[in-house]
Structure 1
Amino acid sequence: MDTVRQESSERIGLNGWQSLPSLPSLPEVFRSIPVPKSATFWRRLLAFVGPGYLVAVGYMDPGNWATDIGGGAAYAYRLLSVVLISSLMAVFLQALSAKLGIATGRDLAQACRDIYKKPVAIFLWISAEIAIVACDIAEVIGAAIALNLLFHIPLAAGVILTGLDVLLLLALQHKGFRWIEGLVITLIATIMAVFCIELFYAHPSFHAMLAGFVPGSDIVRNAGMLYIALGILGATVMPHNLYLHSSIVQTRDFGESWEDKKEAVRMAQTDSFVALMLALFVNAAILILAAATFYRTGHHDITGIQDAYRMLTPLLGVSLATPLFAIGLLASGQNSTLTGTLAGQIILEGFLHIRIAPWLRRLISRGLAIVPAATAVILYGAHGIDQLMLFSQVVLSMQLPLAVIPLIQITGDRRRMGPLVNSRLVQITGVLLAVLIVVLNAWLIITSLHGGH
C-alpha cells in the first residue's frame, strides 16, 4: 500500500510539496474498494457511490434541524431559497474536496500540514478539532433528545448513552468500509421516508413552496429573518466535511494515470451531487413541515426540536407524527456521529501524523462534547440545550473559513494539482465564495454576540 502511495506521489512530483506523506489517509481502508476498469459506465459509477452520502449526513444533522424548524415556523416558506443556496455552495466545495484527494493523494489535513509553516498548520489543526467538538455537541444533543422523546430516558442519561456509539463504529470498521456506507445510506433513507410521510399529512402549499425557492430582498431587510438565514448558511457547510471527503474518496482503487484520476473526479463529484441533493430535500422538508404545521397555525415561536415534537401530533392530528419525527432525529444524530468519528481520525492523523485507536479517538472527542452538553442539561434543562446547540453552530461558523480558504488555495495551484487544477472560472468562483462565507459568518457571530434577533 505504501509503495502504491509513494509511486503515486512521485508521479505528481514534489513541486509545491515539502515531503511525501508517510501514510495514506485512513490506511486501514485505503484503496480497499475495487473499481472495475472494463465494466460499463454504470458499474464504475456504482463503485464510487458511498462517500458522497457520508458527506451528506453533515448537511442534515440535528444542528440543521433546529435552524430549519425556526425558519419555517417564523417565516413560512420564505427561507427555502437560503436552503437551496446553501446546498449549491456545499456541492461546489465538496467537489473541490473530492478533487483534492484524488489529484494529490492527500487529504486536506495532510495537504495543509505539508504546505504551511508549522505554527499555521498547528493553528489549523486546533481549529479543525474545535469544529469536530462543536459538531459533536449538536449530535449528542440531538440523539439525547430523540432518546428522551422515544423512550423517556432523562436528557442527562441520554447524553451519557450517546458515548456508546463507538462500539457500533468499531464493529462496522472491522467488517469493511462498505458496511459503514451501507448503514449511513440506510439511515438517510429512513430520514427521507419519515419526512415524506410527515409532509403527506401536513399538506403544504405547493405554490408557496415554489415561491420560497426564489430569493427575496425581505431576507436582508428583516433582521430576524436575516439572523436565521445566516444561521442556516453557517450550519449547512460543515468544515469537517471538507477534510472527510478528501480522504474517503481514496478508499476507491482507481488508477494512477491522470486520465484515471479525471474519471475518478467525475464519478466522485456525481456521487456527492446526488447525495447532497437528497440532503437538500431533507433540509427543505424540515422547513416546509415547520411552515405548513407551525406557521400556518400561528405557532411562530417554535424554535427548539422538543417544542416541534410536542406540537406535531396535536396540529397534524396523526398519532404517528411525533414518533416518526423522533426516529428521524435519532437516525440523523447517529449518522452524523459516525462520520464525525472518521473526520476526527483524518484530522488528527493528517495534521500530526499521530495514529491512535479509533475507539480512543472517539471517546476523546465524544467526552469533550458530553461534558458541556451534560452540564447544560443539569443546570439549565431543555432551554440550556437549545442555547448550547445554537452556540455550537456559531462555533462551526467561525471555523469554516479556516477550511475553505486552504481548500481553494491548494486546488488552484497547478504545481500541486497538475492537470486537475481549478479552471480560472472555478477559482474566481471559489475566491468569491470564500469571501462571502467569511462575511456572512462574521455577521452571524456579530449578531449572535449582540443578541441576534
Structure 2
Amino acid sequence: MVETERERPRIRQLTLLGPAFVAAIAYVDPGNVAANLTAGAKYGYLLVWVLIVANVMAVMIQYQSAKLGVVTGRTLPQTLGTALPGRRSRLAFWGQAEVVAAATDVAEVVGGAIALKLLFGLPLWIGGLIVGLVSMVLLLLANPLRQRQFETVIMGLLAVIVLGFVGGLVVNPPDVGGLLNGMVPRLDGSETVLLAAAMLGATVMPHAIYLHSALVIDRHGRSREPARIGQLLRATKLDVVLALMVAGTVNIALLLLAATSLSGRAGTDTIEGAHAAVGEALGPAIAALFAIGLLASGIASTSVGSYAGGAIMAGLLRKQIPMVLRRSATLVPAIVVLAVGVDPTWALIVSQAVLSFGIPFALVPLRRFTSDRSRMGQFADGAILRIGSGVAVVLIVVLNAVLLVLICTGRA
C-alpha cells in the first residue's frame, strides 16, 4: 500500500505530459533535415557542437515559455500585446512574427512535398497541396476540447519521425572519435556560419517559443493556486526535458547519418540527393524509412506551425480567424516557391536562417517577463535561468550579426 501511495503522484505527473511534445515537433521539421544533412555531408562532424548548444538552449527557452503560461494564465503573445505601447507597435511586432511563421511554413510544406515526390513521384506543388490539406484535417483537433487527441496524433507522428531518421544509424553507426571531436566549438569559413545559423534557427524555433505558453493553457487551464502551479511546473519541466531529448536525438542523428554515410558522395547537398545516397549506402528500406520520416515531419510541423500562428495573432492583435482559413492563406507562399522551381533544399536552408533572426524578438521579452517578480511572484526565474537565457540571447544576436555581415559582403 505504501508503494502504491508513493507511485500515485508520479502517475498523475505522467498524465500531465504532452504539450512539450507538440512544441518539440517544431524542432524536427524539414528545415532541420536540410540544415543538418547539409552540415554533416559537407563538414562531417564539425558542427555537432552547434546542435548540442542549441538543444540545451531550447530546453531552457521552452520551459520559460511554458512557465509563463502556467503561472500567469496568459500566453506570451497576449503578454506582449498588453506590454507593447500602442497598436502600431503591436502591428509591427506581429508583422515580424508572421514573416517568421511564413518562413517556417515554407520549410514544412516544402519538406513534406519532397517526401511525397520521393515516395510516389508526385510533382512538388501537388505534394505541397496534399500536405496542406492533411494539416487542415489535423487542425480540426487543435482546440482545448480536443487537446489530448491532438497531442496523441502529433506524438504518434513524432514516433514515426524518430524511426525514420534514426534507423540509418543502426545500420551504420557513427565514428565515436569523430563525434567527440565534433563537440569542440569551432567554425570553418563563411558557409559554416550560414549553416550554424540555419541549424540554430531550425532548432530554437520562434513560433515554438510563442506557442508553448498557449499549449499549457489549452491543456491545463488557468490556476491561481500556488500548490497547483507548482505541480504543473514540475510536470512541465519533465515534459520539456523528455520532449527535447527526443528532438535533440533526432537532430544529431541526422547530422551523424550524413557525416557517416553521405560524406564525399555526389549530390548530397539536396534532400533528394541525400535520399538517393542513403539508398545506395544503406539500402532501399532505410531510404524509404527516411522519406516516411520526412513526410511525417512535414505534416506534423506544418499543423503545429498553423496552431502557433493562430496563437500569435490572437495574442498580439486580439483577433482570431478559423484555423482552416489561416492554413489556406499561409499555404500560398509555399506552393508558389514549389511551383516556380526554386531549389527546395536551398529554400529550406534559407528559411531556417530567416528563423534565426526572429529568435531574439521572442526570447528577449520572454526572458524579461519570466524574470519579473511582480508578474511571476515566487515562480520568477532564478539566477541560473536568468544567466543562461542571457547567454543564449547574446550568442544568437552575435551569430546573426556575423551572418548579416557575410550576406551584405557577398560571402555567404
The TM-score normalised by the length of structure 1 is 0.84
Alignment of 1:263-412 (within 5 A): 263-295=231-263, 298-299=264-265, 302-316=268-282, 318-375=283-340, 377=341, 380=342, 384-412=343-371
| Residue 194 (structure 2) pairs with residue 227 (structure 1) | yes
Cα separation, 2, equivalents of 1:292 and 1:325: 15
Which range is displaced more, 393-402 or 284-293?
A: 393-402
Q: How far off its partner does 1:292 sit? A: 0.8
| Residue 199 (structure 2) pairs with residue 240 (structure 1) | no
Cα separation, 2, equivalents of 1:266 and 1:300: 48
Which range is displaced more, 359-368 or 334-343?
A: 359-368
The TM-score normalised by the length of structure 2 is 0.93
Q: 1:355 to 1:421 in 2, by over 3 A?
A: same
Cα separation, 2, equivalents of 1:194 and 1:163: 21
Q: How far off its partner does 1:399 sit? A: 1.4
Q: 1:74 to 1:366 in 2, by over 3 A?
A: same
Q: 1:130 to 1:293 in 2, by over 3 A?
A: same
Q: How far off its partner does 1:449 sit? A: 4.5
Matched letter for residue 41 of structure 2:
A
| Residue 31 (structure 2) pairs with residue 63 (structure 1) | yes
Q: 1:173 to 1:101 in 2, by over 3 A?
A: closer
Alignment of 1:24-35 (within 5 A): none
Contact 1:73–1:301 under 8 Å retained in 2: no
Matched letter for residue 351 of structure 1:
L
| Residue 93 (structure 2) pairs with residue 93 (structure 1) | no
Which range is displaced more, 286-295 or 299-308?
A: 299-308
Contact 1:137–1:373 under 8 Å retained in 2: no
Alignment of 1:106-255 (within 5 A): 106-118=74-86, 119-173=88-142, 176-212=146-182, 214-216=183-185, 219-250=186-217, 251-253=219-221, 255=223
Contact 2:197–2:353 under 8 Å retained in 1: no
Q: How far off its partner does 1:451 sit? A: 4.2
Contact 2:25–2:301 under 8 Å retained in 1: yes
Q: How far off its partner does 1:76 sit? A: 1.4
Contact 1:51–1:245 under 8 Å retained in 2: yes
Question: Residue deviations 1:233-260, cap 9 Å, x none?
Answer: 2321110001110111112147431222
Contact 2:111–2:295 under 8 Å retained in 1: yes
Cα separation, 2, equivalents of 1:170 and 1:229: 32
- Secondary structure of 1:320's match? helix
Alignment of 1:8-27 (within 5 A): none
Question: Residue deviations 1:163-217, cap 9 Å, x none?
Answer: 21244224434771111111111111111122332112223223322332x224x
Cα separation, 2, equivalents of 1:313 and 1:125: 43
Match of 2:8 among 40, 48, 63: 40
Contact 1:230–1:441 under 8 Å retained in 2: yes
Cα separation, 1, equivalents of 2:126 and 2:411: 31
- Secondary structure of 1:286's match? helix
Q: 1:66 to 1:427 in 2, by over 3 A?
A: same
Q: What is the identity percentage for the equivalent residue pairs of Structure 1 and Structure 2?
A: 37
Match of 1:259 in 2: 227
- Secondary structure of 1:303's match? coil
Q: How far off its partner does 1:77 sit? A: 1.6
Q: CA RMSD in A?
A: 2.1
Q: How far off its partner does 1:359 sit? A: 1.0
Aligned residues: 405
- Secondary structure of 1:77's match? coil
Match of 1:445 among 400, 404, 407: 404
Cα separation, 2, equivalents of 1:92 and 1:350: 23
Matched letter for residue 80 of structure 1:
V
Cα separation, 2, equivalents of 1:385 and 1:238: 20
Q: How far off its partner does 1:369 sit? A: 3.1
Matched letter for residue 112 of structure 1:
L
Q: 1:239 to 1:125 in 2, by over 3 A?
A: same
Match of 2:3 in 1: none
Matched letter for residue 371 of structure 2:
G
Cα separation, 2, equivalents of 1:147 and 1:451: 34
Q: How far off its partner does 1:403 sit? A: 0.7
Q: How far off its partner does 1:278 sit? A: 0.5
Residue ranges of structure 2 left out of the alignment (5+ in a row):
1-5
Match of 1:413 in 2: 372
- Secondary structure of 1:172's match? coil
Matched letter for residue 130 of structure 1:
V
Cα separation, 2, equivalents of 1:167 and 1:89: 31
Cα separation, 2, equivalents of 1:363 and 1:207: 48
Matched letter for residue 382 of structure 2:
S
Cα separation, 2, equivalents of 1:309 and 1:300: 12
Cα separation, 2, equivalents of 1:301 and 1:371: 25
Matched letter for residue 353 of structure 2:
V
